[in-house]
Amino acid sequence: MDTLSATLLLLTIMDPLGNVANFISGLRGVPPERRMRVIARELIIALIILLVFLFCGQKILALFHLSEEALSISGGIVLFLIALKMIFPPTVREKDESNVEPFIVPLATPLVAGPSVLATLLVLVSSQPEAIGRWAVALLASWAITSAVLMMSPVLARILKEKGSMAVERLMGMLLVMIAVQMFLNGLKRYFAS
């Protein structure tokens, strides 16, 4: 696989357009003047997680005796729980309690640096360890494109307004449920195959 193919693969898995609604939802409790700083911070944290996993992922999994299957299954469960909150928004009382600025979870991970991206990086490095430089370039390029799209999410929120945001959020929640179930099934399939 060449650098361009790896970039497109990682970009597809990061799904910046699909994550716009998730970012809008996650930033709902953040004052508008802080949103750009929070998005930038979460994207930088996601990049750090991705780079650490690119260069040290296999060692980290080995240290904790974790398999790629466990990564996929646990990621599917976390995404499923996030998707349920998107489809069935919390009540007014719960909203007041959860009106906290997001930090690392869920924006940096699992939305940008999700289990699928981490597993893909593991596969790329294990299949061609000598090409780690190419994988780093592909990762940086896909992260930069994702960041550009997600930095525009507050603008998109203003365009969509509250009802439009809620409709997009619920639609993306449905898609996220399907992605989460597929990740879970892929993890189970790999587990039973090995």
Three-state SS string over 26-47 comes to HCCCCCHHHHHHHHHHHHHHHH
Q: What is the pLDDT of residues 106-162, one digit of tens each?
A: 889 988 998 878 888 887 887 788 999 999 999 999 999 999 999 998 887 778 777
Percent of the chain topping pLDDT 90: 28
List, in sequence order, every residue forming a beta bridge with 103; answer none if it has no partner: 105
Question: At residue 45, does pLDDT exceed 60?
Answer: yes
Distance spanning both ends of the chain, measured CA to CA: 25
Amino acid 93: pLDDT? 46
Could you tell me if 154 and 6 are in contact, meaning their C-beta atoms sit under 8 angstroms apart? no
Mean pLDDT of all residues belonging to the chain: 84
Average pLDDT over every residue of 166-190: 81
Highest mean pLDDT among 41-45, 56-60, 122-126: 41-45
List, in sequence order, every residue forming a beta bridge with 105; answer none if it has no partner: 103
Query: What length is written for the chain?
Result: 194
Does the predicted TM-score (pTM) go above 0.85?
no
Residue 103 phi/psi, 5-degree rounding, is -140, 115
CB-based contacts of 102: which residues, under 8 Å, 6+ apart? Answer: 26, 27, 30, 38, 42
